[in-house]
Copies of this chain bind each other. A is one copy, B any other.
Amino acid sequence: MPDPEWSLDPRLAQDTVELGDLPLNRVLVSRDANYPWLILVPRRVGAVEIIDLSAADQTLLIGEMSLTGRALKALTRCDKLNIAALGNTVRQLHVHVIARSPGDAAGTRPVWNVAPVRRYDEAELARFLAAMRERIGLT
């Protein structure tokens, strides 16, 4: 069960659109259209590190990383997933699940601090959200 007093960090909220809730995580989509990019945020008050989660929650977390990663890979037919929990600026525990392709804005580099943010066209974002919700099973 999610912590009832949990709330999303405002900087994460600002940079993303909400996709829906899985048993552990709120699932977000980054507003940066350079990369198909999900962010999973465990709904646990005060969690900063993966090691702050209980063993049961850690198992849930990697299960939801896999569920969303598989859906993202199937939808985008990407070459590689990048999965990362960094948190150097936003402390609230969050896990990036990013679809990478050879021709994308960062090439073989990690995506952070590389290319300027590209804004989604509204219709493009709506299509991506709908397709991701269907594949993940978020209604």
Interface positions of A (Cβ within 8 A of B): 48-51, 55, 58-59, 61-63, 65-66, 69-70, 73, 80-89, 91, 100, 107-110, 112-113
Q: How many copies does the complex hold?
A: 2
Given contacts A62-B61, A70-B51, contact A80 B84 (CB under 8 A): no
Contact B88 A108 (CB under 8 A): yes
- Main SS of the interface on chain A? mixed
Chain B minimum-CB-distance residue to A108: B88
Contact A55 B49 (CB under 8 A): no
Jot down 19 A-B pairs with beta carbons below 8 A, ordered by A. A49-B69, A49-B73, A50-B65, A51-B69, A55-B63, A61-B62, A80-B87, A80-B88, A82-B85, A82-B88, A83-B86, A84-B85, A88-B100, A88-B107, A88-B108, A88-B109, A88-B110, A109-B113, A110-B110
